[in-house]
A and B are shown apart, each in its own frame.
Chain A
Amino acid sequence: MKDFLRSIEHLLRVVLLLALGVIGFLVVRRMVIPAEFGKYGHFRPAALDEIRAHPVKFAGRQACEACHSDQADVKSKGKHANLGCEACHGALARHAEDPGSLVPKLPDTAVLCARCHEANQAKPKSFPQVKTAEHSSGLACNTCHKPHDPRIGG
């Protein structure tokens, strides 16, 4: 046995070194790769929860209409029925959560309406467009058109 060990000593050293290397590799691998990696694919599943934790800024129109049903009723009868509230009023999730914490400012119709309705060759022909400079001779849009129901007298 002693002779045998001596005769393969050079091999044993290599094998031991290799085994240590492999074990070391596996230990390090276990430490750096999360246990769940690869559960749904080649990625870290916890990343999904982290991405989902991003705060919501746009409350969504259901949230608005839960309180402002009067405005929603007016809007539902006009040409702007399909518009989300926050398309004009801006992101208001904070207001929806706690109305007092953020009181939204009324948008300036001179800027707001032109964003969509300023005439442009690239806009679909069926979309109502005006050259604002010629259309209202400087009057604010909401002098004649109420934004929630924009037909004149609406």
Chain B
Amino acid sequence: MEMTRREMLVKSGKFILLTSAAAAAWDYVLAGKAEAAPNYDMTKHWWAMVIDPEKCIGCGNCVRACETENDVPEGYFRTWIERYHVDDWDMEHPQVDSPNGGHDGFPEKYHDGGKTFFVPKMCNHCADSPCTQVCPVGATFITPDGVVLIDPKYCLGCRYCIQACPYGCRFFNPKTNTADKCTLCYHRITQGLTTACCEACPTQARVLADLKNPKDPIHAFLRTHSVQVLKPQMATHAKVFYKNLDGSVR
């Protein structure tokens, strides 16, 4: 049997391609079923948060509650409060401070009667989040119910996501040596509780919302109020909606 070089190459090419195809098919056959979470259907929820800065009193309850609930190391924040001070017309240059993330409240600093207000911040659980797009190992991801999470077992600690987040919501956890951030209290909301920060907020400045639940009051709220997300120009499709947000807020 004679075989040209071309035929030989074609044959070996087919052999290699078919082997990998068979292996991929075999993978598919072997893949089993994931453990279904009892009483919780991920496909029926799409979590979001509504924040009303006009209700925030800067007490720091949310920051402390988050720290307690999620064992956040001291000096790091999954949620924090910023104090904005806007001097008359200069909206481009607001004075912003956040002493210890607002954990211990805000000592009085301004006495001039200018525009001063609090803005609670946290992970925006973006539908198109830059952090999940840059993760090289699939350690950060968005769940089918719309929560951006980190798999600490897969995270290498490369910190790429920390740089990618336009909102500065991520930090490097020195205890676990992985990236860390708000989980939207995934362990709570999947069993019917609200987040720790919402539970502890004394003024309902923040409220957990489920955009897929037609009975959730968020639908009426979004229809009847002016809302804004942070940095809409980043096209992240953030899901933390701020009511009547001042233009100086970044």
Contact = CB atoms under 8 A, between A and B. Distances in A.
B61 A122 contact: no
How many chain A residues sit at the interface, stated as a range, is: 35 or more
A4 B1 contact: yes
A-side interface mostly: loop
A78 interface: no
Given A41-B144, A48-B149, A87-B200, A54 B70 contact: yes
Contact of A19 (B19, B54, B139, B152): B19
A121 interface: yes
Contacts of B140: 43
Interface string B56-87: 11111100010011100000000000011100
Nearest to A116: B59
Interface stretch (A29-37, A68-76, A99-107, A134-142): A29-37
A98 interface: no
Given A19-B15, A37-B138, A118 B105 contact: yes
A37 to B, nearest CB: 7
Given A41-B144, A49-B35, A87 B201 contact: yes
Interface in A1-36: 1, 4, 8, 11, 15, 18-19, 22-23, 26, 30, 35-36
Given A35-B30, A87-B200, A43 B141 contact: yes
Contacts of B106: 120, 122
B202 A40 contact: no
Interface of A: 1, 4, 8, 11, 15, 18-19, 22-23, 26, 30, 35-37, 39-58, 60-61, 80, 82-84, 86-88, 90-91, 115-116, 118-124, 127
Interface of B: 1-3, 8, 12, 15-16, 19-20, 23, 27, 30-32, 34-35, 37, 42, 54-61, 65, 68-70, 83-85, 105-106, 108, 110-111, 113, 116-118, 138-144, 149, 151-154, 183, 186-188, 190-191, 193-194, 196, 199-204
